[in-house]
Structure 1
């Protein structure tokens, strides 16, 4: 009796493990993931500044994917990596152009020019001053008739000018035993200012004796960095000479009005220019 022969099973050929191909596969996969991460970050940055550009990048990515899948061809990992790199490069250039267009132009800082003087008479020689030493004068500044004020009111008015122009720790200390100091303050840059106020009529000028009494106490007793004498009238020639020798800033009536209107320098600016 014949025994039917069994059909032989075709043994499947076992695929050999190829270390080189596996390493290449994982390397390409890492490159693709890195490119995808960079593309996502670039798209996020572009979306913040230009949402329209972000939409364009998404459309470009979809178009690249559809072009790669056209015809249902089998796409190799190398082709995917190449096309991803090209799409990423194009997207990067587009995002950079968008960011450059959105970036504002840098502002150019200007240093305004003010007026300062050497010690002595205020307003004689102009000097360039930094913005910190030139605070803006309010547009609604009201002109004050300083000649019509009494001595106490005049001291308060000078103190108010110091406060308006950025001085700190402004105090009116005039009175009996003031030793020549009527107003004390500290400039915006930290210097000590001691001011003596002379509310005189036009025919009564400040003489050298007044300057000498003030000069004997303003620096040694009050520790002034800037010593100032402000008057509603004028100074005699000997008084101006003494002030220039001692480094005292003299502000007469017209210069006081210029200070109040913002057309002239502040007394501590004149001392700064002299230094």
Structure 2
């Protein structure tokens, strides 16, 4: 029985091979007789397929180049900010206060004065924004891994407006963050709190006016003065 099945499979395979060879011969004869009609269509199909493949390759190459360029620009921006912050970290606390004052002047602040001494009651830098609002800045030169405590923020809250009449009270630090309590206090008391990342953006060219709204409600809208 098994031998019979093997013989039947061999006979079926030979029949299929014969039918295939016959079909191939018929197709060859038809193509040979109609080649003059077939080859222009075949060339058009091949040309369209080639153009499509080339277009797809170019599109993929463009997408890859755009993605790589975007990634490179992002990396360069991060690297530039890191280099800038590395330079800031190397400053003394006195030089840091003058650096912040220079950033204020760069962004249009006037009458900018650096206290440069102890006992300034939180007013390390004082000046006026371009629209005349009085700006009082507390500068804290802390290690990058530190956080600003609520005690530091409380001291600034207690002097920025009662003692110095600040319209905009700015607390800027090289520390990585403010504690949750310090940040909450800053938001409730309209203090602009700029931690390390926002300072890096400021140093990298971001305008102070664009950074003020990023920290709570410390934009000085409750109190305005005419330009001095």
TM-score class, shorter: 0.5 to 0.7
Question: Residue 77 of structure 2 corresponds to which residue in structure 1?
Answer: none
Are the counterparts in 2 of residues 187 and 268 from structure 1 also a CA contact under 8 Å? no
Superposed counterparts of 1:73-92, under 5 Å:
none
Q: Structure 1 264/167 Cα, relative in aligned 2: closer, same or farther at 3 Å?
A: closer
Question: Residue 157 of structure 2 corresponds to which residue in structure 1?
Answer: 215
The answer to whether the aligner puts 1:255 opposite 2:185 as a matched pair is no
Q: Structure 1 203/272 Cα, relative in aligned 2: closer, same or farther at 3 Å?
A: closer
The answer to whether the aligner puts 1:199 opposite 2:155 as a matched pair is no
Q: For 1:143, which of 76, 81, 84 is the aligned residue? A: 84
Distance in 2 separating the partners of 1:264 and 1:166: 9
Q: Find the residue that maps to 2:188 and give its secondary structure.
A: helix
Q: TM-score, normalised by structure 2?
A: 0.55
Q: Find the residue that maps to 1:229 and give its secondary structure.
A: strand
User: Which blocks of at least 5 consecutive residues in structure 1 are unaligned?
Assistant: 1-141
Q: For 1:243, which of 151, 161, 186 is the aligned residue? A: 186
Shift of residue 272 of structure 1? 3.5
Q: For 1:169, which of 108, 111, 120 is the aligned residue? A: 111
Shift of residue 174 of structure 1? 3.6
Q: Find the residue that maps to 1:244 and give its secondary structure.
A: helix
Q: Find the residue that maps to 1:180 and give its secondary structure.
A: coil
The CA RMSD over aligned residues, in Å, is 2.1
Shift of residue 143 of structure 1? 3.4
- Aligned length, in residue pairs: 134
Question: Residue 8 of structure 1 corresponds to which residue in structure 2?
Answer: none
Structure 1 residues 127-180: Cα deviation after superposition (integer angstroms, max 9, x where no partner)? xxxxxxxxxxxxxxx935211111000000000000111000000014221011
Dislocated runs of 4+, deviation >3 Å: 263-269, 271-275
Higher normalized helix content (fraction of residues): 2
Q: TM-score, normalised by structure 1?
A: 0.46
Q: Which has the larger radius of gyration?
A: 1
The answer to whether the aligner puts 1:229 opposite 2:171 as a matched pair is yes
Shift of residue 273 of structure 1? 8.3
Are the counterparts in 1 of residues 104 and 208 from structure 2 also a CA contact under 8 Å? no
Structure 1 residues 174-193: Cα deviation after superposition (integer angstroms, max 9, x where no partner)? 42210111000100000000
Question: Residue 4 of structure 2 corresponds to which residue in structure 1?
Answer: none
Structure 1 residues 76-106: Cα deviation after superposition (integer angstroms, max 9, x where no partner)? xxxxxxxxxxxxxxxxxxxxxxxxxxxxxxx
Q: Find the residue that maps to 2:164 and give its secondary structure.
A: coil
Distance in 1 separating the partners of 2:144 and 2:210: 21
Q: Find the residue that maps to 1:185 and give its secondary structure.
A: strand
Are the counterparts in 2 of residues 172 and 182 from structure 1 also a CA contact under 8 Å? yes
Are the counterparts in 1 of residues 170 and 193 from structure 2 also a CA contact under 8 Å? yes
Distance in 2 separating the partners of 1:267 and 1:226: 14
